[in-house]
């Protein structure tokens, strides 16, 4: 169980700092002349939409995981671990095309504020974090309490991380090669999933 929690925490932390979650909001906000408070508020709204869709899918997968546990012996150890490893390998292989959230900023910049916010919220809702979903599947085999814990942790870490990074970068306190960081995030995500899968296989 602890390996599921720790793996979920690492994915949530990584997820919070991936720039394509919050950098488009910041870029559009700067272009639109939004204040830091406005940009932070809109990032929060978009983040909530993103978290909601992720948790909805996660709960459905958790229910499936719970059902499979009742019918398949050693579901968590064999099948669950294999799923984590396979998803991890997929992200390692596809890291160069791993894009979570992309908008055509040029088109959005020409729209009014309400339209921009609506587009951001819809885009974030329709791009759930698929990396964390495998952990919900495994958590479902342990019970609702673990699913709830992962959902709460993921939500808090993701939204808090987005808001913190928005404020830091808006104020120009940190300048990094965000494209390179985003490019390598898939590899890191994949390795975390693979390691969690291997640990799950041996300790369950």
pTM across the whole model: 0.77
* Chain position carrying tokens 């639109």: 32
Of 12-16, 41-45, 103-107, 128-132, give the range with the top mean pLDDT: 41-45
* Chain position carrying tokens 């965000």: 178
Whether residue 16 is predicted with pLDDT greater than 80 in this model: the reply is no
46-61 per-position pLDDT tens digit: 999 999 999 999 999 9
Alpha-carbon span 119 to 25, nearest angstrom: 11
Give the tokens for residue 26: 């910041």
Going by pLDDT thresholds of 50, 70 and 90, the confidence category of residue 171 is confident
For residue 81, give Cα distances in angstroms to 12, 26, 102, 106, 181.
19, 37, 31, 42, 27
Q: What is the percentage of the chain residues whose pLDDT exceeds 70?
A: 79
Count: domains in the chain? 1
In a 10 Å sphere around its CB, with 0-12 CB exposed, 13-18 middle and 19+ buried, how is residue 152 labelled?
exposed
Residue 63: domain span: 2-203
What pLDDT score does 148 carry? 93
Q: Which of 42, 7, 4 is nearest to 188 (CA)?
A: 7
């Amino acid at each position: 169980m602890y390996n599921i929690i720790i793996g979920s925490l690492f994915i949530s932390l990584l997820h919070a700092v991936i720039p394509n979650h919050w950098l488009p909001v910041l870029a559009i906000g700067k272009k639109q002349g939004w204040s830091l408070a406005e940009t932070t508020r809109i990032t929060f709204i978009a983040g909530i939409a993103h978290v909601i869709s992720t948790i909805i899918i996660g709960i459905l997968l958790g229910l499936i995981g719970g059902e499979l546990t009742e019918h398949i012996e050693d579901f968590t150890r064999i099948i669950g671990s294999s799923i984590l490893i396979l998803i991890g390998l997929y992200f390692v292989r596809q890291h160069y095309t791993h894009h979570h959230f992309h908008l055509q900023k040029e088109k959005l910049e020409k729209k009014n504020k309400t339209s921009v916010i609506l587009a951001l919220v819809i885009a974030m809702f329709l791009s759930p974090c698929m990396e964390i979903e495998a952990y919900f599947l495994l958590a479902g085999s342990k019970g609702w309490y673990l699913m709830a814990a992962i959902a709460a942790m993921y939500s808090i870490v993701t939204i808090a991380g987005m808001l913190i990074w928005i404020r830091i970068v808006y104020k120009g306190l940190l300048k990094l090669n965000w494209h390179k960081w985003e490019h390598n995030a898939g590899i890191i995500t994949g390795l975390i999933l693979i390691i969690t899968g291997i640990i799950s296989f041996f300790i369950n």
